[in-house]
Structure 1
Amino acid sequence: MRTAVIRRTLAATGVLALVGGCTAQAVGPGGSGTHSSPPVAPSAPSASGPATAPGDAKPSGPARPSAPSGPSGASGPSRAPAAPAPRTLFTPGDEGKQVRELQARLRQVAWLFDGPTGTYGASTTDAVRGFQGKRGLPRTGTTDTVTWQRLLNMTHEPTRDELYASGGQPAAKPDPRCLTGRVLCISKTSRTVSWMVDGKRLMTTDVRFGSQYTPTREGVFHVYWKSRHHVSTIYHTPMPYAMFFSGGQAVHYSSDFAARGYSGASHGCVNVRDEGKIASLFAQVRDGDKVVIYW
């Protein structure tokens, strides 16, 4: 009986060992024992490649930017796009308002003394060539985008008087008093005289007026005397093709106007510098025809 008690005691002790021991082994199938910790599963391979072996790991750092690729895909330094080649704007023989502006700007920087005429002639070509050479540009004599931009930077927007310093303005809108009958329609704004018959403009030419001290009168007048070879009795100067309209004031040819342009002035008369046109006017205008002078 004592032996039975001892056996029961040992059996109880074994059971207690299995329940509370920290190194206890679990009984597996077939009575064989395995470690109580679950086996560690192998880690999954990295998406970027096989796992790095211990000791092969390299210190991490910022990623190096990839070199830019060239046109063919090869890597190399990037290049800025090339500047566009200068484009030609004006060439000798061109005409128009833009050529007149070019000439006015060249006059502002003292490279052109004639005109403006609105025609790209020899003097304009020489002026452009000189302007280009002074600034290290190719001396082509033609105006390209580089030459034009350099000139714009050095000048201001030309005024109307600068654009037409030598005349050539389009005739101003006729005064309503010019629209009936036979009229010498004279605008101080455009500095022109137009020969008009019943509202139709037949001829236009440049004119020059008196100075502030000897102003040309304004208003409506009539031709009262024509004198083909007239000489001023006050100033003793020739006044060919004179058509008098108010006191001693007349429309007539002026060689001084033809030579000096608007740098001079008359003593109150209306000067014409185109001798061919004033001769034609003199032949057509009659005594009694109307003269209208207005701004």
Structure 2
Amino acid sequence: MRITGRLTALLASGAALAALCGCTVQPTDTDGRHGLPVHVRLPSSRSGEATRTAPSTPVRSAPQVLWARGDSGPGVRELQARLRQVDWLFDGPTGSYDDLTERAVRGFQGKRGLPGTGETDVVTWQRLLAMTRPPGKWELYLMGGQPAAAPDPRCLTGRALCISKTSRTLRWMVDGRTVSTVAVRFGTQYTPTREGVFRIYWKSRHHVSTLYHSPMPYAMFFSGGQAVHYSYDFAARGYAGGSHGCVNVRDETAIAQLFAQVRIGDKVVVHW
């Protein structure tokens, strides 16, 4: 009885001491990873008090996105030209980050083990730069869109179609003011587009060439059989082709508007 009483007393005093110290242990309520009671804190470097901390994991930020769908500008145009060099894009360059560009970027990324976001981030761009060369002006403006050359002085009076072979553009001008600008294509080496000052003498909305049997929608004739007109081939192939002397336009909406505004007798200036 004395031994039992002493043991009971010792256990009681130990429990009381633990209670006073604030560290009563519930051995059945433990942390599975550490084998410690859940309320026991691991050492903290900030203070003398113990605290549980999760293992630190380094956080990597995503690469900066340079261009994504909906963007436009010279950077996008260069991206498209370089994607064409590695056969991931076959249209353009247009300078507008459209669905075709997004699909091409996603394919390029997937082929090289990069996240297939379809957005051109810094990592994707650096990989593409390493595989391609700087595109020339012809490549950048394969489908048109280059800045128009300064208008020829002969275009600054009256109503004029001011057509530059240097920039491959057509300015529609009224009294020295540019109303609209479109990309154009000219005749080949063996069928060149004539240069000089002419007048529109005939308009034919649904014209078909009697010589080549090819469609010439929105034709506006200015010199013999040469006319400004819409070209399906130009729209599809860009400057990879050429006309039989006519001035081709690839933007059907633009040529339709131009056809509605131009009158018989309006001036046509073809210059370098």
Q: CA deviation at 1:260?
A: 3.0
Q: How does 1:10-21 map to 2 (within 5 A)?
A: none
In the alignment, the residues of structure 1 paired with residue 119 and residue 149 of structure 2 have an alpha-carbon distance, to the nearest angstrom, of 32
1:216-253 per-position Cα deviation (integer Å, ceiling 9, x unaligned)? 11122222222333322211222232221112111112
Please list, as runs of the form range in 1=range in 2, the aligned pairs for 1:149-188 lying within 5 A after superposition: 149-188=126-165
Q: Post-superposition shift, 1:83?
A: 9.0
Which residue of 271, 276, 279 maps to 2:248? Answer: 271
Give the corresponding residue for 1:207: 184
Match of 1:252 among 229, 246, 267: 229
Hey, what does 1:111 align to over in structure 2?
Answer: 88
1:198 pairs, out of 165, 171, 175, with: 175
Shift of 1:85: 5.4
Residue 254 of structure 2 aligns to which amino acid in structure 1?
K
Identity of aligned residues (%): 75
- Measure the CA separation in 1 of the matches of 2:123 and 2:253: 42
> With structure 2 as the length reference, what TM-score do the two structures score?
0.73
Quote the Cα distance in structure 2 between the aligned partners of 1:204 and 1:110: 30
Q: 1:86 deviation in Å?
A: 2.3
Structure 1 counterpart of 2:210: 233
1:164 deviation in Å? 1.2
Match of residue 98, structure 1, among 71, 75, 88: 75
CA offsets, 1:192-235, max 9 Å, x none?
Answer: 21110111001112211111111111122222222333322211
CA RMSD across the alignment = 2.3
Ranges in structure 1 where 5+ consecutive residues have no aligned partner: 1-71, 73-81
After superposing on structure 2, the runs of 4+ consecutive aligned residues of structure 1 that deviate more than 4 Å are 82-85
Q: 1:286 aligns with which of 253, 256, 263?
A: 263
Structure 2 residue 239 is matched with structure 1 residue 262? yes
3-state secondary structure, aligned to 1:195: strand
In structure 2, the CA distance between the partners of 1:284 and 1:140, relative to structure 1 (3 Å rule), is closer
By how many angstroms is 1:261 displaced? 2.7
SS at 1:282 equivalent: helix
Aligned to 1:32: none
- The amino acid of 2:92's aligned partner reads G
Unaligned 5+ segments in structure 2 are 1-45, 47-58
- Aligned mates of 1:136, 1:154 — CA distance in 2: 15
Partner AA of 2:81 in structure 1: A
Q: Which residue of 1 aligns with 2:125?
A: 148
Cα distance change on mapping 1:114 and 1:179 into 2, 3 Å: same
**Number of residues of Structure 1 aligned to a counterpart in Structure 2:** 217
TM-score of the superposition, structure 1-length normalised? Answer: 0.68
